[in-house]
Amino acid sequence: MSKPKPKIRKEVVPMRKQDPKERVNNFNEVALGYTEEQAVAEAERCLQCREAQCVKGCPVEVEVPTFINLIRERKFDEAIRKIKEKNSLPAICGRICPQEEQCQANCTLGKVGDPVSVGRLERFVADWERERGYEIPQKSVSTGKKVAIVGAGPAGLTAAADLAKLGHEVVIFEALHKPSGVLIYGIPEFRLPKKIVEAEAEYIEKLGVTIKTNAMIGKLYTLKELLEQFGAVFIGTGAGLPSFMGILGENLCGIYSANEFLIRVNLMKAYAFPEYDTPIYVGEKVAVIGGGNVAMDAARCALRLGAKEVKIVYRRSREEMPARAEEIENAEEEGIVFEFLTNPKRFVGNERNWVKAMECIRMRLGEPDESGRRRPVPIEGSDFIMDVDTVIIAIGRSPNPIIQQTTEGLQVTKWGTIIVDENGKTSLEGVYAGGDIVTGEATVISAMGAGKKAAKAIHEYLMKK
């Protein structure tokens, strides 16, 4: 392989960030984005490979080299248009996609230096457009077909956008009072500002999609009732059920699921209590159980809500942590303490039924388990007590069960995920599904990819009908 020309810099153009000392006192966005000059400089690093590996790594197949080239030429409007041919939520993906595992993973430049920062460039042009007002693509001729989407999360919004662009009438049914699913209730303001999420959801509405909030399918309407009014249905209800550890004392006051903690903080804006009505309790010593992005988010929220000491308690070691490297780094910079190879055994309460301590045991890594990671094994006699007054359990989420429970004939796995074929088709005629409800908890972009694929299949199904 030929070496890159010497004029190409090997190091990524750094992005400005809020100082850790400052940012722990606010909920403003940590990463501040590129300036035009920085974006162009980063775009100039792209080798414009003919066999672009980055495109193959993208679940929605954004034409990465093309949009980067347009940034290099300062044609920002054309660059964002190019991205939006494939991705309707670029300002979100530019911020929270795990680019290091996807588009950037096999970047040719990555073999000799830093890969091109596709995410930061995507974010830059998405923000550039939003600040100037969205361009709304011309509507296709109406097909006269109607599609119902269940759940306004990343999978549902993507499927809705693609189907609306194809000329179908699309109605999204969302159970919460705001659309966007995990983007609005789960991911904190300092990582993904809610005004950006709201703007991208509004963009989807401008494409002609109707979003009906406070509408829980399975309760307000059954899936079968939707099929009476719509030609096809897409289920994108996600993985929203919190897992608990099933250990003694877990229902003591002061113990939250990460979902509850994050819903209070993000969706309900408990950080602005009492201006906003929803309260949250954060003590001085907070323990967050788990090692994923959700654990990092919860820990960093707790710190911003005034905790003196926030510990992440994870049963494996740093190498096995599923969180993005960037998020672990951010958490470390902010002073989050990591207790690796540690697992809680039970929670201890005070006389008012509030948690005051956590009995833990140290772990060592044994043989690899079915996930390929080395299995954590308790070390006998290593028990110790950790004083805590708030605990956040972030050990995963399972599929929302309401649709499955209320729909006869819909085939599901023993984990409660919906069974689909390679195009997202379920066991029921005209019913498609995608995202976490099919795969179990995964990433925003993989859910978007599934929404996209299902939209294509739904379009073909409706046009044949």
Pick out residues in 158-177 that bind another protein (CB under 8 A). 171, 175-177
Please report where in the chains the tokens 């029921």 appear, as a residue. Answer: 428
Q: Is 338 in the site for another protein (CB under 8 A)?
A: no
118-132 and 76-84 are packed helices; what angle lies between their axes, rounded to 10 degrees?
110
**Which one among 41, 49, 402, 442 touches another protein, defined by CB under 8 A?**
402
Q: Is 216 in the site for another protein (CB under 8 A)?
A: yes
Pick out residues in 176-205 that bind another protein (CB under 8 A). 176-177, 185
Q: Is 330 in the site for another protein (CB under 8 A)?
A: no
Least separation, in Å, of the C-beta of 260 and another protein?
Answer: 4
**Which one among 75, 273, 346, 440 touches another protein, defined by CB under 8 A?**
273
Region from 120-128, 215-223, 295-303, 313-321 binding another protein, contact rule CB under 8 A: 215-223
Contact at 8 Å (CB) between 174 and 212?
yes
Distant-in-sequence, close-in-space partners of 21: CB < 8 Å, separation ≥ 6: none
Pick out residues in 248-267 that bind another protein (CB under 8 A). 250-251, 253-254, 256-257, 259-260, 263-264
Least separation, in Å, of the C-beta of 168 and another protein?
Answer: 16
Closer CB to another protein, residue 42 or residue 174? 174
Q: Is 269 in the site for another protein (CB under 8 A)?
A: yes
According to DSSP, the residues that pair with 34 across neighbouring strands are none
According to DSSP, the residues that pair with 337 across neighbouring strands are 311
**Which one among 268, 289, 307, 447 touches another protein, defined by CB under 8 A?**
268
Region from 272-280, 301-309, 422-430, 449-457 binding another protein, contact rule CB under 8 A: 272-280
Pick out residues in 97-156 that bind another protein (CB under 8 A). none
- Per residue, the 3-state secondary structure of 248-316, as one string, reads ECCCCECEEEHHHHHHHHHHCCHHHCCCCCCCCCCCCEEEEECCCHHHHHHHHHHHHCCCCEEEEECCC
- Return the closest-CA partner of residue 227 out of 332, 291, 150: 150
Q: Is 80 helix (H, G, I), strand (E, B) or coil?
A: helix
Is residue 16 within a helix (H) or strand (E), and if so which, with residue range?
Answer: strand 16-17
Closer CB to another protein, residue 47 or residue 402? 402
Closer CB to another protein, residue 151 or residue 451? 151
Contact at 8 Å (CB) between 207 and 166?
no
Please count the helices (runs of H) and the strands (runs of E) in the chain.
17, 18
Closer CB to another protein, residue 199 or residue 402? 402
Contact string (CB under 8 A) for another protein, positions 340-379, x = contact? ------------xx--------------------------
* Angle (nearest 5°) at CA 162 between 158 and 167: 145
CB atoms within 10 A of CB 320: 18
Q: Is 401 in the site for another protein (CB under 8 A)?
A: yes
**Token reading at 109:** 């430049």
**Which one among 9, 63, 130, 281 touches another protein, defined by CB under 8 A?**
281
Radius of gyration of the chain (CA): 23
- Return the closest-CA partner of residue 440 out of 463, 412, 421: 412
**Which one among 75, 212, 346, 374 touches another protein, defined by CB under 8 A?**
212
What does the binding site for another protein look like in residue numbers (CB under 8 A)?
171, 175-177, 185, 210-216, 219-221, 229, 240-242, 244, 246, 250-251, 253-254, 256-257, 259-260, 263-264, 268-269, 273-279, 281, 352-353, 400-402
